[in-house]
Amino acid sequence: MSNIHFISNQVLELTTINEIITQGKTLKLSPESKTRIQNCRSYLDNKLKEEEKPIYGINTGFGSLYNVKISKDNLTKLQENLVMSHACGTGEEVPQEIVKLMLLLKIQSLNYGHSGSQLATVERLIAFFNHDILPVIYTQGSLGASGDLAPLAHLSLPLIGKGKVNYKGNIVTGEDLLKEFNWEPIQLQSKEGLALLNGTQFMSAYGVYLLLKSYKLSYLADLIGSVSIDAFDGRIEPFNELIHLVRPHNGQLKTAERIRTFLNGSEVIVQEKQHVQDPYSFRCIPQVHGATKDTLAFVLKTFKTEINAVTDNPNIFSEEDEIISGGNFHGQPLALALDYLKIAMAELGNISERRVFQLVSGLRGLPAFLVNNPGLNSGFMIPQYTAASIVSANKQLASPASVDSIVSSNGQEDHVSMGANAATQAFTLVNNVERILAIELMNASQALAFRSPLKSSDFIEAFLQAYRTEVPFIEEDEVLHDDIAASIHFIQNLIIDENDLFS
């Protein structure tokens, strides 16, 4: 299998992006992409020679300065000024894995030949990606409306020898980077600054990253929930297919099927029960986890459309002889999807913490707080507090960013999406869900040990055997922070087959 991914107009799938990143693939423009980029650039150059009338962003100022005409002699300076003046990010640095996705998605958008970029500019971005040259970008500064202006300005600065990059573990200036590779600064041509800065690649990169992580956590929520069901001596009846066929939401059906598969062969699940029903956090797993799955499907559809789209402005249609200024950079579809993702993933954490609470409550033959000699030992009393505090933090983060707006650029940009804020909130929230599930796994594995000599399913027993190499059974009180950290590490490094994640 080739270790090169060819940038083209074929649909870029989430699974393809996952392969590019996990397999360390390099990028290369397809011949068709090169032709589209060159044809668009040639058309724009000829248009500027033939016409004197102002064309927004190409020979005019930007935003509320759209009526200011710029002379041909200053067009390169205009674009460079745009990149430098818009590099106003602040806050924390964007994680490098997301910066790499931003590069990929910006390259993909420029390859369609409606943006007017030079071939040399796109090739330089590809060189950044292939050499792991990752511009330093900041989390704050985008309104998610005229594209992700500030983050994308920082992404673009190194093209002209400005800004900073992460390279081989060091922070390197854009100027020193050019010297390192013996590169000349890119001489930005008309429209190129806008092609680079207008676009939704900050929001989109966060969305892609979080979708990949969320699908994994959705699978793990089902698996860890299954461990909790056996640990709590739960009943299998709520997962019977007949129940779900009469309320056939796709995610609900899928969740119930997974739970049945995970628990198949368990000695605990088939033993006679003393109780008629389980709490909702156990028996309603298909309905709650399933609703999250259906949300992920919607969010995936939205982001799949976006990452295969042209999102800068104006758009150039050389065959139709049209240059049209519109609003494809507006992030409203992504803002709404990211807010929906936040709510759905927060609920996975919410119901997980409720199962933790039930497991430590001294019910169904389990010792209080899942430890021998409770009283002398506090056992698993406080990890539930930790999970509860994270769940409450997620409730606050899940408040929608997309219902907000603020006027900018002297009133010209009078409605914004706040999708960038939704993206960074979602990043924190999804990482929080990972921590909650790690705490549930720690509790469920501890509780299940008290069901011995009965065994769970072969699949769950093998899963827990791997887990026990990093997180041991707790005999008496110790510093549980270390065990929580080890549990998180185990989840983060768990590799799940792609067919299981996206089926």
Beta bridge partners of 28: 6
Q: How far apart, in whole angstroms, are the C-alpha atoms of residue 406 and residue 151? A: 18
Joined tokens for residue 290: 């399933």
Whether residue 334 contacts residue 417, with contact meaning beta carbons closer than 8 Å, is answered with yes
Q: Which amino acid, residue 370?
A: L
* Residue length of the chain: 503
Q: Which amino acid, residue 385?
A: Y
Q: How far apart, in whole angstroms, are the C-alpha atoms of residue 379 and residue 314? A: 61
Q: Under the phi-then-psi rule, with left for phi > 0, alpha for psi from -120 to 50, and beta for the rest, what region is 379? A: left
Which DSSP state fits 410? G
Beta bridge partners of 217: none
Q: How far apart, in whole angstroms, are the C-alpha atoms of residue 219 and residue 94? A: 26
Q: How far apart, in whole angstroms, are the C-alpha atoms of residue 213 and residue 430? A: 8
Whether residue 75 contacts residue 49, with contact meaning beta carbons closer than 8 Å, is answered with no
Catalytic annotation, pick one of 43, 56, 340, 385: 56
Beta bridge partners of 79: none
Residue with tokens 């089926």: 503
Tell me if residue 56 is catalytic. yes
The residues annotated as belonging to the active site are 56
